[in-house]
Structure 1
Amino acid sequence: MAPYESDGSSGAEEADDLRWGRRKAARYVVPVAVVGVAAATIGLVPALADSGDPNLPKITAQQLIEKIAKSDVQQLSGTVKISTDLGLPDLGGLESGIASGLAKGGDGSSADPTSKLTELASGTHTVRVAADGQDRQKVSLIESAAEYSVIHNGKDVWGYDSKSNEVYHGTASQDGKRHKDEAPATPKDFADQALKSVDDTTSVTVDGTAQVAGRDAYKLLIKPKHASGTTVGAISIAVDAKTGMPLKFTLTPASGGAAVVDAGFTRVSFARPAASTFDFTPPKGAKVTEEKKDARAPEHAQRPGASPKDFAKAGSRVLGKGWNSIAVFDTGTKGGVPSSSGKGDLSGFLGSLGDHVSGKFGKGTVFSTRLVNALITDDGKVYVGAVTKGTLVTAANTGQ
């Protein structure tokens, strides 16, 4: 994605500064877990529209990106409103079955954070977050008459589902990073992932100011320089003018309409949360599941992020560049996806969700959302990216 477009500064010195800013930003990146072939992209309800137009000192895109990279907020608490509009079809309750299957495929508990990620793929959600340094964080998903929480306190990571009264217990990584199963829950999580991919295919500008959750903010606008082939229209990040922390993240699709990703604070405080916020003891009678250690593959291979580098680490190859990057996996399984003429209800259902395509590569099925599309070929290859169906087919035909 691209060099920063500022207002009047240029030259080799600026280029060096920009590369420094990108390297600094990359240090703060938190990988985004992938839910199936559609990444866990999260949006915000329209009620979080910007309010006010604060008069702030002028700032260049370069200065703003460096402000984000230098941000070092250690204590905060607040509420994030989340909704998702990937344009997924109505699965008629199948979502809960998928979540259950993920839990069984993971550590077998409804409190396993992995099993909760699919809930963020559609609908509207309220998330409460709290942090006190690198060793204490809490994320709570507020549900109807129930609550799900992930608590990191020292070496322990707890997941608790009040609805099923189940508890998941794991350990934090030794390098102090977030636990491998934590879902992205704040605008910073999404902003970090977007900034990680900034290169020369992207336009980055300052797009005025706004107020978010009562805080004055600058708006950073990230757009593909050439929209052809990508499903991404633009990314807007509201950056707190004082702390440099992202307060709101909005991703709009190239096709127009509602945002696919639009996550933002409705309330935020940078005061230190009470220590008791991070205390957790399994309730009486709760079923406790301990995390299973999987020594078969390194963590990054089990849970790839969303950037081309992450896909490469996960054992895939990457075709294209920037916004048109496509990850290619070879599953080794022949036969592709069951068609609508296959036997059984599930076969017909799966076939009806995709578009059947053919080309020099053979035959396959394309599964589409408003952001992430995937082509599964009959010879077992998977092409996936934030690109159009035509771009996937062309990549499969040429292998480039």
Structure 2
Amino acid sequence: MKRKHVAYAATAGAAAGVLGLTMLTLPAGAGAAPALPEVAPEQLVESVMRAQPPALTGTVEVDNALGLPAIPGAGQASEMLANGTSKFQVWADGQGRHRVSVPSHNGELTVVDDGSTVWKWDSAEQKVVRSPEHAPEAAEHAAPADPAATAREIIDKLRQTSDVKVDGTASVAGRDAYDLVLTPKPTERTLLREVRVAVDAEKRIPLEVSVLTNGSNDPALQVGFSSVDMSAPDPALFQFTPPAGAKVEDGKAEHSPQQRPAHPQGEHKVVGDGWDSVLVAQLPQQEKQNGQDPRQIAERVGKPISGPWGNGWIIGTAAGNALLTSDGRLAVGAVPEQVLTAALGEA
């Protein structure tokens, strides 16, 4: 998740990266509330932290009202983070192997993690990128293969600066769930009102995440399972053979722990913590990202802004802001504009 923030910064989807919530899971709708044993909020949170990722097959639906446009040519990240509803398929074996299939307007992106190698197959370009699992490229090409793990990270990050409660129960994708609510403490400077997480009553993994902003009763972003089957998928799904005629490219060799760059996508720093934390990063030196110049994109969809830190463009939504400077620095956060610019100046 940390590296994806910077990888997506070249598109309008960077503003959604503000949330740190873009690749979680949410169902299309909830059924009648089931009767479940009472559970204390901290007990529920701790059980989520301890839960082991199960084997599963699921359809994930993203319902986005962030106000971001789709940018032609900017890839699946922009398409999925643009206003509206989108879906993708996920498979996991519970042992660290994953498969994700994301449709696009002109093809399909398939990512397979077989436990040692990450394969990215783009049917539109007829190209396969093969990377060692822990190489920088693997994180760059990864899809949301383990949304439950991402949700756990978010819960763990926010719980120390939140009021936490269990607000009843729900039925999500046919499974009983507890409704966990995290509300920012009054000292937190954020545009978000609360984050609601539907936690599976049996497996204790997140099934639904809803992000609500101040001034609206409708979620700005919902992500989750519209259907899920927690039985083991066919092991063949986690094997990949490049299709005939496909162009195969190799990613860079994996670094050892001593050699691996601390920030493969460029240097970055987190200013603040909890709800009002801001990620400040230096974009990689290459001129273009996914065939697009980040500065040209920011100039097209953002508004000009300047300050003691320099000049740039800001992309704002009800849920947060992203600022790209003319010299390639990026600041994103679910915070008001003044908090964002202050963090940029501090970094």
1:353 maps onto 2:301 in alignment: yes
Counterpart in the other structure of 2:119:
158
Shift of 1:329: 4.4
CA contact (8 A) 1:138 1:151 kept: yes
1:210 maps onto 2:170 in alignment: yes
Shift of 1:218: 0.2
Shift of 1:158: 1.5
CA contact (8 A) 2:24 2:144 kept: no
Which of 187, 204, 209 pairs up with 1:244?
Answer: 204
- Matched letter for residue 120 of structure 2: G
Equivalent position SS for 1:302: coil
Using the alignment, how far apart are the partners of 2:186 and 2:280 within structure 1? 22
C-alpha spacing 1:289/1:258, structure 2 compared with 1 (3 Å): farther
1:76-100 CA-to-partner distances (Å, cap 9, x unmatched) read: 1111112333312464x3xx1x33x
Using the alignment, how far apart are the partners of 1:136 and 1:172 within structure 2? 10
Moved more, 385-394 or 62-71: 385-394
Using the alignment, how far apart are the partners of 1:243 and 1:67 within structure 2? 9
Moved more, 214-223 or 273-282: 273-282
Gaps of 5+ in 2: 286-293
Counterpart in the other structure of 2:260:
298
Counterpart in the other structure of 1:323:
275
Q: How does 1:105-144 map to 2 (within 5 A)?
A: 116-122=76-82, 123-143=84-104
Using the alignment, how far apart are the partners of 1:143 and 1:381 within structure 2? 29
Counterpart in the other structure of 2:153:
193
Q: How does 1:1-400 map to 2 (within 5 A)?
A: 31=2, 33-34=4-5, 35-36=8-9, 37-38=14-15, 39=17, 41-42=21-22, 48-89=28-69, 91=71, 93=72, 96=73, 98-99=74-75, 116-122=76-82, 123-143=84-104, 146-173=107-134, 179-180=138-139, 181-185=141-145, 187-226=147-186, 229-256=189-216, 258-293=218-253, 298=260, 300-303=262-265, 315-329=267-281, 350-351=298-299, 353-358=301-306, 364-376=312-324, 382-395=330-343, 399=346
Moved more, 324-333 or 132-141: 324-333
- Matched letter for residue 51 of structure 1: G
Shift of 1:213: 0.9
C-alpha spacing 1:330/1:182, structure 2 compared with 1 (3 Å): closer
Moved more, 286-295 or 261-270: 286-295
Using the alignment, how far apart are the partners of 2:251 and 2:303 within structure 1? 39
Using the alignment, how far apart are the partners of 2:323 and 2:268 within structure 1? 14
Shift of 1:220: 0.6
Shift of 1:187: 4.2
Equivalent position SS for 2:236: helix
Equivalent position SS for 1:210: strand
Larger Rg: 1
Equivalent position SS for 1:194: helix
CA contact (8 A) 1:187 1:248 kept: no
TM-score (norm 2): 0.79
Using the alignment, how far apart are the partners of 1:179 and 1:349 within structure 2? 25
Using the alignment, how far apart are the partners of 2:110 and 2:328 within structure 1? 38
Higher relative CO (Cα under 8 Å, sequence separation at least 6) belongs to 2
Using the alignment, how far apart are the partners of 2:233 and 2:283 within structure 1? 46
